[in-house]
Structure 1
Amino acid sequence: MEEQSPRTLVAERMAGGRGTTGTLARLLRDRRRRAWRFFCSVQLAIILILVLTGLSLIGTLLIQVPPGVTADPGEYAWWRENVVRPTLGIWTTPLAFLGLFDVFHSPWFLGAGSLLVVNILACSINRWKSLRAILSGGRIKLADRFYEGGANRAEFSGLEMTPTEAGAVVVKALERRRYRIRLESTPQGVCIAADKNRYFRLGTYFHHLSLVLFIVGFLIGSFLGFRSQSFAVPEGSVRDVGYGTNLSLKLESFVDEYWPEGPPKDYRSQVVLYENGQEVQQGLLRVNHPMSYKGVRFYQSFFGPAVVMEVRDQSGQLLYNDGVALSWTSGEKPYKRPTGLFSVPGTGVTAYVVAPAQGYYDPLMQAGT
């Protein structure tokens, strides 16, 4: 066997190392290009928009868990079994596993929204090179086949003016129509390029920017903001808004009016807003006419039954005396029972209030019980 010198072995190993490094570099470049094409794909944008639309539709049609309930596993389990399962049955468990009872905070919605933002930014960056060339105007003198194959093409001969004079006439006509004029002299004559409204093409970027800001704002609101559809205040009661706002809302009165034929005429709520226990604002809420204070909006979205509960301990000391909104329903059809809950101060106990089903004789809750 032929003996190789140490210098030869080192050279061969270095050559092999360069080959391996080169292959790895090409592989990484290829993966980067594929990833870039993936994020720049219009098909990806369409799929993500359809996914977000579908999830939004689910969040609108499917009952969503009240925000205050998600923080307590026990309350969430009770809500799922007593409010959702009687209606959805065997679908309750898989839908809960997929997070579809809290769609707008689910990883599917947040992930699709984040990926759509990346897709929009990637498409905008990818298109900038060609758009920049259009804005700058590009080349003036093009190949002969460009002029020969043009859709709007005309040739003139026998003009009683020189090419320079003819060019000046064309330039003046275009300038009167507010075209941008660019000239280039060639051995055959003068080439004229004219365009206008070129900056309108930037409108795509403003559209993309507005869409990105909308999605980012919604995602930030999902993490940092709050929206409570279960915030219900019985008439004459005060409820803390929570979420670190130091706000509380009192419902002074609620009035519902109807036309003689039966359709609703008006729903209005007279409310008082407190901050740190001090009154800061009064307002009259109507449908689609909320009251705002420091970025928090209060909407009138529903009304329903309520009860006044009084709770005392064994010694007779009053622990709770306030209204409880029965804003849910529990039980199986046809016995859909109005349900609400409240916390007994100083005990750590959450009490559930269940009223008899309306419109039916309820065998579990007979009249007078």
Structure 2
Amino acid sequence: MRFLKAMYSQLASTRLTLVLLIILVVCMLLGTVFPQGGTQEEYLKAFGQVRATWFTRLGLFDVFHSWYFLLVGGIFFLNMVFCSIEGWVSHIRPKPARFKEASTVQWELGGKKSEDMLEALKRKGYRVKEVYAEQGTGSFVAQRGLPSRPVSIIYHFGLALTFVGFVLSALTAFNGEVYIYPGETKKIPRSSPDMTVNRWRSKLGFSPGNVESLSIYLESFDTEYTWYNMKYYPKDWKSAVVLKTNSGLSANKVIE
């Protein structure tokens, strides 16, 4: 039981949130510095046998699918969930008459001392939010800085959007490959029987019907090179494409 409480306390810590965010930023920087999604032959030519082997073992050529990135992302997800639970619990829990946070003060009223404290807090920029009075006694709550409730609502709204994004991706994502050369036009379906939502519909006896497709036209395909070890090596690839829908809408896009 103590172990579970200690684990919950660590996962609900904002310090852990800061550490995980720093690690994720470092991973994203590594994913920017090291080329992602290339072939082993390209890495061998660019970095040599020894360095390419070590970089591959460390997952630097596929950072966003590496075990450590997925592990940190999973812990960060749990951290967000437990921090949200802890925030709501502390919000609805009765607050004792003591210092709860650095920016919030709650103190018992009564006599000259409390009046002096009120004036001192006002001079320091605190806002008196509520005053409770009953039979000559009471308490006040003063706060400075951003109100906690709107910030909490925004945070939880963002968390809810994250969950919605996860669900939509899981239901509608599908994989496919299209080989296209400059000057060619190919049709790309906007749906697939492999989509989770379509598999569920098929089990229930519903037909997906006609599937709308996009027309993709490849205008150009350019390769950027970088100078390394007295040679030029591929650094980036840029594709200029034109997308068209069945209704006639079109859009130009450069994919790197």
TM-score range, shorter chain: 0.5 to 0.7
**How do 1:357-368 and structure 2 match up within 5 A?**
none
What is the aligned counterpart of 1:152 among 117, 125, 128?
117
Aligned to 2:55: 95
Q: Secondary structure at the match of 2:91?
A: helix
Residue 191 (structure 1) aligned with residue 137 (structure 2): yes
Q: 1:32 to 1:249 in 2, by over 3 A?
A: same
Aligned to 1:126: 86
CA offset digits 1:274-324 (Å, max 9, x no partner):
6xxxx4444241xxxxxxxxxxxxx3125xxxxxxxxxxxxxxxxxxxxxx
**Distance in 1 between residues matched to 2:148 and 2:17, nearest whole Å:** 20
Q: What letter is aligned with 1:61?
A: V
What is the aligned counterpart of 2:255 among 301, 304, 309?
301
Aligned to 1:205: 152
Residue 113 (structure 1) aligned with residue 73 (structure 2): yes
Q: What letter is aligned with 1:56?
A: M
**How do 1:1-369 and structure 2 match up within 5 A?**
29-65=1-37, 79-81=39-41, 83-89=42-48, 90-133=50-93, 142=108, 148=113, 152=117, 180-185=130-135, 190-195=136-141, 200-213=147-160, 216=163, 225=173, 233-239=180-186, 241=188, 245=192, 247-251=213-217, 253=219, 271-273=242-244, 279-285=246-252, 299-302=253-256
Deviation at 1:237, TM superposition (A): 0.4
CA offset digits 1:315-335 (Å, max 9, x no partner):
xxxxxxxxxxxxxxxxxxxxx
Deviation at 1:196, TM superposition (A): 7.5
**Distance in 1 between residues matched to 2:109 and 2:131, nearest whole Å:** 19
Deviation at 1:49, TM superposition (A): 0.8
The answer to whether the Cα contact below 8 Å between 2:108 and 2:140 also exists between their aligned partners in 1 is: no
Q: What letter is aligned with 1:203?
A: P
Q: Secondary structure at the match of 1:115?
A: helix
The answer to whether the Cα contact below 8 Å between 1:103 and 1:109 also exists between their aligned partners in 2 is: yes
Deviation at 1:112, TM superposition (A): 1.3
Q: What letter is aligned with 1:62?
A: F
The answer to whether the Cα contact below 8 Å between 1:268 and 1:284 also exists between their aligned partners in 2 is: no
The answer to whether the Cα contact below 8 Å between 2:107 and 2:141 also exists between their aligned partners in 1 is: no
Q: Which runs of 5+ in 2 are unaligned?
A: 98-105, 120-126, 193-210, 221-237
Q: Secondary structure at the match of 1:142?
A: strand
The answer to whether the Cα contact below 8 Å between 1:181 and 1:195 also exists between their aligned partners in 2 is: yes
The answer to whether the Cα contact below 8 Å between 1:63 and 1:101 also exists between their aligned partners in 2 is: yes
Q: What letter is aligned with 2:30?
A: I
The answer to whether the Cα contact below 8 Å between 1:236 and 1:251 also exists between their aligned partners in 2 is: yes
CA offset digits 1:69-103 (Å, max 9, x no partner):
xxxxxxxxxx212x222112222223323433232
TM-score, length-normalised on structure 2? Answer: 0.58
The answer to whether the Cα contact below 8 Å between 1:104 and 1:222 also exists between their aligned partners in 2 is: no
Kindly tell me the number of residue pairs found equivalent between the two proteins.
Answer: 202
Give the % identical residues. 18
The answer to whether the Cα contact below 8 Å between 1:117 and 1:215 also exists between their aligned partners in 2 is: no
**Distance in 2 between residues matched to 1:105 and 1:221, nearest whole Å:** 20
Q: What letter is aligned with 2:117?
A: N
Q: Secondary structure at the match of 2:183?
A: coil
The answer to whether the Cα contact below 8 Å between 1:248 and 1:273 also exists between their aligned partners in 2 is: yes
TM-score, length-normalised on structure 1? Answer: 0.43
Q: What letter is aligned with 1:96?
A: T
**Distance in 1 between residues matched to 2:189 and 2:59, nearest whole Å:** 24
Q: 1:213 to 1:60 in 2, by over 3 A?
A: farther
The alignment yields a C-alpha RMSD, in angstroms, of 4.5
**Distance in 1 between residues matched to 2:217 and 2:150, nearest whole Å:** 47
Q: Secondary structure at the match of 2:137?
A: strand
Deviation at 1:217, TM superposition (A): 6.2
Q: What letter is aligned with 1:84?
A: Y
CA offset digits 1:17-66 (Å, max 9, x no partner):
xxxxxxxxxxxx21112111221223322221111111111222221116
Q: What letter is aligned with 1:88?
A: F
